[in-house]
Amino acid sequence: MSLFEKFHRIQKVRQDLLKTGVNPFHITVEKVLSPTEAIINGQRTILVGTNNYLGLTFHPDCIEAGQNAIAQEGTGTTGSRMANGSFLSHFELEQALADFYRLPHAIVFSTGYQANLGILSALAGPGDVILLDGDSHASIYDGCRLGGADVIRFKHNDVADLEKRLRRLGERSQKTLIVIEGIYSMLGDRAPLAKIVAVKKLFGATLVVDEAHSLGVLGQNSRGLVEEVGVEQEVDCIVGTFSKSLGSTGGFGVSHHPEFELIRYTSRPYIFTASSCPSVVASTKAAIQVIRTHPQLRKKLWDNAHQLYNGLRQAGYLLGAEVGPIIAAMIPTKEMALSMWQGLLEQGIYVNLMIPPATPNGECLLRCSVSAAHTPTQLETIIQGFSSLQSSLEDDSESLEPQTMQPLHRTC
């Protein structure tokens, strides 16, 4: 037996996929033209699958800050902060995050994935318990495993199930870490945060909220669901990423607990990973300032989200959640989803193809992420593209009609 034999099954699945003429996992973006357009397969293509919610990847302030940082500090740090030391800009970015969230402590990681790995594995270890929402991101699952705590899933957005499991833990509930997300990345639904905070306080547990998809999107000051619900002092730690609304790469955690600073000495991903390069640090810090001074970007994002959501719903699609920047059209079969994804790409529209096992409830999804940088004309083009594909498939299947599709187990 070879260790590589486990890949034979995956190879067969890949070969079957390639026989269809569709290969969604090897897309090459040949040239990026703007936050919302690129050249793919030699064709000008609208990007509606990038998570670039505020369109800041081409903001002049962010570009200028990144260019200046390269000129002044070089292209990289060539080591971890623990081994090589922190650049002054690393501390300045952490201070900018702390000021933004109005919390005293902030730690920056090299990626959003590592932020979850580093913080969750440091907070909960052997003898502790983690209760995580069943639809949590892969980085959350991996962070929970890395720490060695007992990991228990509760039903997605089901506060009663969370409370039941905490009650069963008895005194262990006080050494339990609850992990949820602000906005969930597949269907765009939000956590019932106020109710979860109430349960957390009742049992004396600790709560971490991953705001990867809600930073820049929710709250009067764009601080996410925690701000929108008004529970910033009741949440123990907020985790987030720079790779969505902030338009760069990296991750962070913020907290009001003074002990949070000690994670720097216990988090293996923090200690042993090369720190963020100067250009990324500088552009991220500039992006935070843009968010603080340009609230109109968030308003434009929501105007665009309503336009696309309403257009796809009127076209007959069943959409997976309330209006928001993540808009997922549920497709009855994998074959149909592959065909429709390819059809959209041929029309110059790039969306995310999501198929099991990466999706909740075995759903097949064509997932759109709206940007403040999308124009009304681009959104109308996307709507027309979806509409034309649905019409062409009606002869093959009636299952795109909303009344014939099975609802999700959750309330969307």
389 located within any domain:
yes
Do 300 and 324 have their domain in common? yes
Question: Does the structure show a pLDDT above 90 at 14?
Answer: no
Q: Structurally, how many domains does the chain consist of? A: 2
Residue 12's pLDDT band, with cuts at 50, 70 and 90, is confident
Here the CATH number for the domain that contains residue 193 is 3.40.640.10
Residue 19, pLDDT score:
79
pTM: 0.92
Domain check: are 260 and 397 in the same one?
Answer: no
Provide the CB-side half-sphere exposure for 17 (13 A, CA). 16
Q: Is 36 a member of any domain?
A: yes
53 in a domain, yes or no? no
Torsional sign, CA 248, 240, 89, 278:
negative
Residues 155 and 267 in one domain: yes
- The CATH number of residue 325's host domain is 3.90.1150.10
Active-site position among 105, 156, 213, 300: 213
Name the percent of the chain lying above pLDDT 90. Answer: 84
From 293, 317, 341, give the residue that closes a domain: 293
Instruction: Tell me whether residue 138 is in a domain.
Output: yes
How far from 51 is each of 37, 68, 320, 385, CA to CA, in Å? 13, 26, 17, 20
Give the active site residue among 59, 90, 156, 244. 244
Looking at the structure, tell me whether residues 41 and 68 fall in a common domain: no
Examine residue 196 and state whether it is found in any structural domain, yes or no. yes
- Residues 218 and 354 placed together within one structural domain of the fold: no
d(CA 219, CA 235): 15
Shared-domain flag, residues 172 and 317: no
Can you give the pLDDT at residue 403?
Answer: 34
Full residue range of the structural domain in which residue 339 is found = 16-47+295-404
> For 328-355, how does the pLDDT look when each residue is reduced to its tens digit (9 = 90+)?
999 999 889 999 999 999 999 999 999 8
213 among known catalytic residues: yes
Q: Which of 121, 185, 267, 276 is catalytic?
A: 185
The verdict on residue 165 lying in a domain is: yes
Better pLDDT: 46 or 394 = 46
At 391 the pLDDT is 67
Task: Give the Cβ contact number of residue 349 at 10 Å.
Answer: 25
Residues 24 and 103 in one domain: no
Residue 402: pLDDT over 60: no
Domain final residue pick, 277, 293, 309: 293
Q: Does residue 6 sit within a domain?
A: no
Q: pLDDT tens digit string along 192-229?
A: 999 999 999 999 999 999 999 999 999 999 999 999 99
- Which pLDDT belongs to residue 26? 82
- CA 245 to CA 207: how far, in whole Å? 23
Determine whether 397 is an active site residue: no
What's the mean pLDDT in 84-100? Answer: 97
CB atoms under 10 Å from CB of 60, counted, come to 9
* Assigned domain for 368 exists: yes
Is 409 annotated as catalytic? Answer: no
The CA distance from 272 to 83, in Å, is 8
